[in-house]
Structure 1
Amino acid sequence: MFDILMYLFENLVHSESEFRVDQDELTEELIRAGFHHDEIYKALAWLEKLAALQDSDINPYLSSANSHAVARVFTAEEEVRLDVECRGFLMFLEQINVLDACTREMVIDRVMEIDANDFCLEDLKWVVLMVLFNVPGKENAYAQMEDLLFEEPEGPLH
């Protein structure tokens, strides 16, 4: 499923193609690309839920009570999916104002819905990018995250 999300993001969204395509047409394109029906439907449902998170009537993370949260305690299931490196990266993104409490919760929500056995920091970075792309008003955070994702380190790493 995550491979399909990556394919869609890289080939449709990131290439600035028209993202609002017919679902049947999109499904056929994904089948031609070698993906299976079940995984395609899971990925499309994941994207629909991401889009639904923009609606403040549906999204519990958009309430003003949650927007000023100071600390985040992860559940046991979240700790299994998000290792220490991933959780530290989320904290880092909050500290540099790429994520706020609301978008952090949206990212965690979407991570927990990914049907994958292994999940790593690179996967998390892509989920953050997908979430920020879909949240109006987060263009600067998206650009900053894109820079973090694609920048090549200069010089020797110590």
Structure 2
Amino acid sequence: MFDVLVYVYENYWQGDACPEWSQLERTLSTLGFEPEEIEGALYWLDGLYDAVQGQLEHPELQHPASMRVYLPREQEHLGEECLGYLGFLESSGLLPPFMREVVVDRAMVLPSEYLSREMLRLILRMAYWSFGTEPQEHLVLSELSDDGVLRVLH
């Protein structure tokens, strides 16, 4: 499923470029993705759409100065590294509360063996994509796309 989501993001990151689900499903199948992977990814993407719509329909639910307390099951599922990364993005002002909730929602439906910092980055990129925005800072974009290679700043 991860590979399907990566493909969808890399090829359709401009929201208006993404085809209807039935056409996307045929395209993914033609590319050789397994039916179970495709079905899981489309189900996950439907959930992403629903989570975004919920946030857009009820902006009053998230105050910009609100504090998020993670439930024990969320702490266990997300793990220390992902929670730390979310905290870093929030404290930097780069992850607003409404988007954080979408990211947490989508991360919680993944089996824990799939959830890594790399997968969290993909979820973050897809959340930005779904809200029709991009991170304002070019450094954030490079951080979200970091491949672990040591780089020298110029």
Check 1:8–1:85 CA distance in 2 against 1; reply closer, same or farther (3 A cut): same
Aligned to 1:8: 8
Check 1:95–1:3 CA distance in 2 against 1; reply closer, same or farther (3 A cut): same
Aligned to 1:34: 32
Count of residues in correspondence between the two structures:
151
Q: Amino acid of the residue matched to residue 130 of structure 2?
A: N
Aligned to 2:51: 53
Check 1:32–1:142 CA distance in 2 against 1; reply closer, same or farther (3 A cut): farther
Which of 128, 148, 151 lines up with 1:154 in the alignment? 151
Q: Secondary structure at the match of 1:67?
A: coil
Q: Amino acid of the residue matched to residue 9 of structure 2?
A: F
Write the distance in 1 (CA, Å) between the matches of 2:110 and 2:29: 20
Aligned to 1:82: 78
Contact 2:62 2:98 survives alignment (8 Å): yes
Identity of aligned residues (%): 28
| CA deviation profile, 1:30-70 (whole Å, cap 9, x unmatched) | 12222222321221122122223333xx3499432422453
Specify which structure has the higher proportion of helix. Answer: 2
Check 1:135–1:155 CA distance in 2 against 1; reply closer, same or farther (3 A cut): same
Q: Amino acid of the residue matched to residue 132 of structure 1?
A: Y
Which deviates more from structure 2 when the two are superposed, residues 91-100 or residues 143-152?
143-152
Check 1:115–1:29 CA distance in 2 against 1; reply closer, same or farther (3 A cut): farther
Check 1:17–1:76 CA distance in 2 against 1; reply closer, same or farther (3 A cut): closer
Aligned to 1:104: 100
How far has the Cα of 1:121 moved from its partner?
0.9
Q: What is the RMSD of the two structures over their aligned residues, measured on CA atoms?
A: 2.8
Contact 1:110 1:127 survives alignment (8 Å): yes
| CA deviation profile, 1:2-30 (whole Å, cap 9, x unmatched) | 221111111232xx596331322211221
Which stretches in structure 2 are left out of the alignment for 5+ residues?
none
Write the distance in 2 (CA, Å) between the matches of 1:116 and 1:73: 20
Q: Amino acid of the residue matched to residue 48 of structure 1?
A: D
Write the distance in 2 (CA, Å) between the matches of 1:78 and 1:103: 16
Q: Amino acid of the residue matched to residue 43 of structure 1?
A: A
Q: Secondary structure at the match of 2:36?
A: helix
Q: Amino acid of the residue matched to residue 115 of structure 2?
A: F
